[in-house]
Amino acid sequence: MPRLPFASAYLLVLAHVVGLELRGPWVWLAASYVFVLIPLLDQIVPVPPPDDERAEAMPSRSRGHDLLLELWLPTQAAVLTWTLWRVTTAPPGWLEWCGLVVSAGIVSGAGGITIAHELMHRARALHRGLAEGLMACTLYAHFCVEHVLGHHKRAATRDDPATARRGEWVYAFLVRVVATTAVHAWQLEGRRTRNQGIAWTLKDRRVRYALLQAGLVAAVALAFRGAGLGFFLAQAAFAVLLLELVDYIEHYGLVRRVLPTGKTERVHPHHSWNSAHRVSSAHLFQLTRHSDHHANASRPYHRLRTLPGKAPVMPGGYPAMMLLSLAPPLFFRVVDPLIDDLEARTAAGTSTGAATPAG
């Protein structure tokens, strides 16, 4: 897994800075890059053959691959600070402001949250700290708790806020997931800290995240006043929107069976949607190989496998499927037949005692 393709994620930062400085229609450069150019390239560039053996042979620790992740927080912090200064000292017009909010939200969401998702599963305190910092930039730090302690245990069940149910419109899902994720994170962290005797200390993430995010908001308000704070809150909201659109497509309609014992079956590769499209996968640090991530949450992104024949595959890359989800009837028409086919294959595999096929 060469490092260069993953460095393409930094083109999101470049596109945002170009739009910030040139203004006019250029403010939509980052959005056009992500939601027009990348989907087109996903269709033009051939899907590569499975490279699971190559990925498996990669070392678990790769300084070059890690450095791409570690540099993102200082880069994002610098760019966001520069952005707040530019939009407050040279206020954009309304349409320009909207374009810059989307652009900054792409940097914080498609870039920052994707990298935070990778780092929050790491063992090193530095990496987990960087994840917390990136999530704080979107005022969604509780995702670090809910995702690791909640989602990875409850994915593809009705108990998981981040699993979209079949036929659930994305707009209803967004309301449900945002409303319940914070509550679940609070409950999970409360249980953990009580068991360890550290509740209401700085080791309690309910306390630490609240102080971190309140301090960040206060700093932005003091430095950039109301205009800067409004922009900061808006870009954070758009970044969270991107995160939850990804959550929607990653497990839409997939359900784990309840076993005769009453317990839920363990997570299998066919409980997550995969995408092998080369361009979007590189920009998202192989978040698109989601089935292997759920099977091996600590496996670094450069070692994730596609698991051909085991994981269901989306017909498009993540950006294309996110856009498609905004038109629910069309999304259902495309994806629901794939679920029917998956369920039929799974049932056939279960009845014969064979390994469960999917995708």
- Domains of the chain, residue spans: 9-352
Residues 6 or more apart whose Cβ sits within 8 Å of residue 183: none
Q: How do residues 30-53 score in pLDDT, each as one tens digit?
A: 999 999 999 999 999 999 888 999
Q: How do residues 213-231 score in pLDDT, each as one tens digit?
A: 999 999 999 999 999 999 9
- For residue 352, what pLDDT band results from cuts at 50, 70 and 90? very low
d(CA 288, CA 298): 15
Residues 6 or more apart whose Cβ sits within 8 Å of residue 64: 3
The residue to which tokens 């939601």 are assigned: 35
Partners of 274 in the β-ladder: 313
- Model pTM? 0.95
Q: Report whether 232 contacts 220 (CB < 8 A).
A: yes
pLDDT exceeds 80 at position 354: no
Tally DSSP H helices, then E strands, for the chain. 18, 0
Q: Report whether 143 contacts 243 (CB < 8 A).
A: yes
pLDDT of residue 350: 57
- For residue 347, what pLDDT band results from cuts at 50, 70 and 90? confident
Buried b (16+ CB within 10 A) or exposed e, 302-326: bbbbbbeebbbbbebbbbbbbbbbe
- For residue 1, what pLDDT band results from cuts at 50, 70 and 90? low
Buried b (16+ CB within 10 A) or exposed e, 23-44: eeebbbbbbbbbbeebbeebee
Q: How do residues 305-321 score in pLDDT, each as one tens digit?
A: 999 989 999 999 999 99
pLDDT of residue 231: 98
Percent of the chain clearing pLDDT 90 (strictly above): 92
Q: How do residues 65-99 score in pLDDT, each as one tens digit?
A: 999 999 999 999 999 999 999 999 999 999 999 99
pLDDT exceeds 50 at position 353: no
d(CA 66, CA 68): 5
pLDDT of residue 186: 98
